[in-house]
Structure 1
Amino acid sequence: MNRSNRSNLLVLCSFVWVLSSSHLFAASWKVTYPKAAIDSDIMTNYPIELLSLALEQTGVNYELHPSSNLLTKVKALNRLEDNREVNLVWAMTNKQREEDLLAIRIPLFKGLIGWRLLMIRDDMSDRFRYIQSLEHLIKLSPIQGRDWPDTKILRSNGFDVVVNLGQDNLINMLATAQGDFYPRSLAEIWHELETLEGVEGLSVQPTLGIHYPSAVYFFVNQNNRPLAHLIEVGLEKAIKNGKFEALFQKTYQDYIERAKLRERTFYQLDNTFLPEQTPLQRKELWFQQALQ
């Protein structure tokens, strides 16, 4: 192909791209996400606000709707893979999920999901004062959801994890001494304690925590690349103009300050289930906390 023909081909490709992009951003988009069991759940409200912010940055017309039925995270991901009932789910990433679905690799919570504080029974507080190393902590049994990626991470680091299904069951297991502590992310532990009903004697252990790299992404069906591209463009714009960070700070700054991270010892865990494509090198995408 001579230079003239190559030039003409580039012009044609550019023209096609402009047309397709114009169609993409001129369309009206309907996004259906999994319905939450609790309307005031902070782990639902923040991603929806962020999704709305991202779509607003693109200038498209859009509608956001919850699914008709309540869906567990696993069921929602399965529905998304089958392209039924929902066309977007936010979830913690791992290698299998990124094989089954199309991930938009911008961590919605800036990695806060991997900053774990320990929910404990008050009568166990003295026991935790004597923990001086990760080896000491591993002798205790954490409680986690049966299908959660965190369960695999904890087990791969040597913990004997006690599992069950459903938040209420897990809280009750902790309250009835069926496990020793319940690691919850900095993004959710305070809200969960404040909204407990019928359970007393639980608190956040004040001096310890665990940390592992993790990311919650928006996922779409593998065949829905236009929606993935649209949301990614919007998120990147919100990152660049500071609106992403402003929403993050508005939602979580009080929780971050309440955690008093510099007064805690965090034990670092490996996350061997984290995909290689995780954008760890992009510092602006992650919560940065100097603990020294």
Structure 2
Amino acid sequence: MKSHRRRRLLALMAATSLPAFARADTPRFVLQNEPSLKHCVELLLAATKAAGFPAAFDDAPKASEARNLHETMAGRIHVNLLPASPARLEMVRQGKLRMIPIPLERGLLGWRACFTLQGLHDRLAQVRNLAGLRAFTIGQGTSWWDVEIYRKAGISTREVQAWRDGEFAEQMHAGVIDLFPMGLEESLNYFLPHFRAHYPELTLDPHLLLRYPWYRFVWVSAHPGADALYQALQHGFDLIGHDGRFESIWNQYRRLPPASSWQSRTVISLHNPYYAEDSVPERYRHLLLHPHIA
């Protein structure tokens, strides 16, 4: 009997000592996620905790942008962590989607470096302007809105279905694409070693940076089932964005690349016809990082 009571007491103590997010009654939500976005998930958890709204997140199956939007509108996906796009911004205007415009990548997503094959990256050394860049074919993931930015700039651009493990290298070998731009920070901190584990012939060009406004925001379903979560995230991100917790958490998982990664590069600025720098509201602009280009 004593042993039975002791086991019950220990179980009770363990349950009450569990953090709120681990308890059985914690509300669970479905999140569009990628392996490279651990810092974003930690920021989400910090925001809900700061707001006093413990939540747990389960990853949604990988899907296209169109499918993500459909599932979000239906309330089957509650949170998305994607760059702003014309379709999403229009849905926000129509009340079909909710946006928290906090820059999860701190503005660095719009500084794009180009993946290419080893031995070929020196071809970009002589590119000095947009006219020179137009001699190359760019690849991007299917449904990425970057595609429209490049095409409107007159750059030949192809959409690639498989990219998450560097599969676009096969398109490069076949001569279908030459370059695959991604954020310089995310590439150095995650994608370069990840891609090279699968395709060691891939490298990051050291000569060019493509620059345009491009921000990863938090998107919340307009379905009533996400009402409380949206309110908590709004309040929580305002709190952690103001008191330094956002920067502290971000710095644990990501970092501004060293000055040597930015210097001696040709910067080609492209026009984003869909939104500008002011899409980040004043209360969050102090979170933006501004690399020094020399």
TM over 0.5: yes
Whether 2:274 is the aligned partner of 1:273: answer: yes
Paired residue secondary structure (1:270): coil
Q: Structure 2 CA distance, aligned partners of 1:222 and 1:187? A: 31
Whether 2:158 is the aligned partner of 1:177: answer: no
Q: Structure 2 CA distance, aligned partners of 1:171 and 1:236? A: 41
Change (3 A) 1:187 1:289: closer
Q: Is the 8 A contact 1:143 1:181 kept in 2?
A: yes
Q: 1:42 aligns with which of 36, 43, 64?
A: 36
Paired residue secondary structure (1:217): strand
How far 1:114 sits from its partner (Å)?
1.0
Q: Is the 8 A contact 1:174 1:182 kept in 2?
A: no
The letter of the residue matching 1:266 is: V
Gaps of 5+ in 1: 1-26
Paired residue secondary structure (2:185): coil
How far 1:102 sits from its partner (Å)?
1.2
The number of aligned residues is: 258
Q: Is the 8 A contact 1:91 1:217 kept in 2?
A: yes
How far 1:205 sits from its partner (Å)?
1.0
Q: Structure 2 CA distance, aligned partners of 1:129 and 1:249? A: 32
1:194 aligned partner: 193
Q: Under a length normalisation based on structure 2, what TM-score does the superposition of the two structures give?
A: 0.79
After TM superposition, the structure 1 = structure 2 runs for residues 58-77 of structure 1, keeping only pairs within 5 Å, are 58-67=51-60, 69-77=61-69
Q: Is the 8 A contact 2:64 2:143 kept in 1?
A: no
Paired residue secondary structure (1:123): coil
1:290 aligned partner: 292
Q: Under a length normalisation based on structure 1, what TM-score does the superposition of the two structures give?
A: 0.80
2:124 aligned partner: 128
Paired residue secondary structure (1:209): strand
Q: Is the 8 A contact 1:73 1:91 kept in 2?
A: no
Paired residue secondary structure (1:195): helix
Q: Percent identity?
A: 20
Q: Structure 1 CA distance, aligned partners of 2:292 and 2:281? A: 17
Q: Structure 1 CA distance, aligned partners of 2:277 and 2:241? A: 22
How far 1:258 sits from its partner (Å)?
7.3
Q: Is the 8 A contact 1:175 1:201 kept in 2?
A: no
Whether 2:137 is the aligned partner of 1:141: answer: yes
Change (3 A) 1:48 1:198: closer
